[in-house]
Chain A
Amino acid sequence: ETGVTQSPTHLIKTRGQQVTLRCSSQSGHNTVSWYQQALGQGPQFIFQYYREEENGRGNFPPRFSGLQFPNYSSELNVNALELDDSALYLCASSRVGAETQYFGPGTRLLVL
């Protein structure tokens, strides 16, 4: 059974640029959630995708957007990057209605 994977591992961008982060769900999982974890803080829920539709969103602006594909993998896109977007971005997958989510190793984004 393959776990949750994320790419890339690390990324450096400049303020104003756009970035795409990728996540592959654990086998059998049809729901993907994205979290932002700033240094020294807990993860914050960005949004969740189920059946290729957004299924709930946290307190993040529209420049944070996502996609889910038929194979349940997902992308997180961030436009007009700001310095405060520097963080660890975590992807987690689960089955719909599940009591447990499984996290990937994360993508460390640095915005200069």
Chain B
Amino acid sequence: AQTVTQSQPEMSVQEAETVTLSCTYDTSESNYYLFWYKQPPSRQMILVIRQEAYKQQNATENRFSVNFQKAAKSFSLKISDSQLGDTAMYFCAFAPNTNAGKSTFGDGTTLTVKP
């Protein structure tokens, strides 16, 4: 069974600064996906960024980027130029290859962006 661990229950950052959220996972599979999801207080879960395990290049989506270390089973999210709208719960998730719908989630990190 896969496990996903987010060791930072809460974090805060000043507006316009950079913050990094940590995630580690455990799996015996070689092909899989990793995700970061955002869940604002309104609760709709939104995909932030996705990384395919077979890709060595780290994924980037505008202000969001990841540091994927496959051997260390580490998958951190960096948010640059933080905005007030980034305030939310962030979840790291693992999914087996070709099936994002069977994801295992961490317990989340609550991020607060301060003005």
Interface size of A in residues (CB-CB distance below 8 Å): 27
User: When A42-B91, A43-B91, A90-B45 are in contact, do A101 and B101 touch as well, CB less than 8 Å?
Assistant: yes
- Is B101 a contact partner of A88 (Cβ separation < 8 A)? no
Pairs across A and B, CB under 8 Å, 23 listed: A31-B101, A33-B101, A42-B4, A42-B6, A42-B105, A42-B106, A42-B107, A43-B45, A45-B103, A48-B99, A56-B99, A92-B45, A94-B100, A98-B100, A98-B101, A99-B33, A99-B50, A100-B47, A100-B100, A101-B103, A102-B47, A103-B44, A104-B44
Question: For the complex, would chain A's binding face be called helix, strand, loop or mixed by DSSP majority?
Answer: strand
- Is B45 a contact partner of A45 (Cβ separation < 8 A)? no
Question: For the complex, would chain B's binding face be called helix, strand, loop or mixed by DSSP majority?
Answer: mixed
Q: How large is the interface on B (under 10, 10 to 19, 20 to 34, 35 or more residues)?
A: 20 to 34
Residue-by-residue, is B76-101 near A (CB-CB < 8 Å gives 1, otherwise 0)?
00000000000000010100001111
Q: How far is the CA of A60 from the CA of B95 in the complex (A)?
A: 18
Q: Considering the complex of A and B, which 3 residue pairs feature the smallest CB-CB distances, nearest first?
A: A42-B105, A33-B101, A103-B45
Q: Which of A35-52 contact B (CB under 8 A)?
A: 35, 40-45, 48
- A contacts, CB < 8 Å to B: 31-33, 35, 40-45, 48, 56, 88, 90, 92-94, 97-106
Q: How far is the CA of A98 from the CA of B101 in the complex (A)?
A: 8
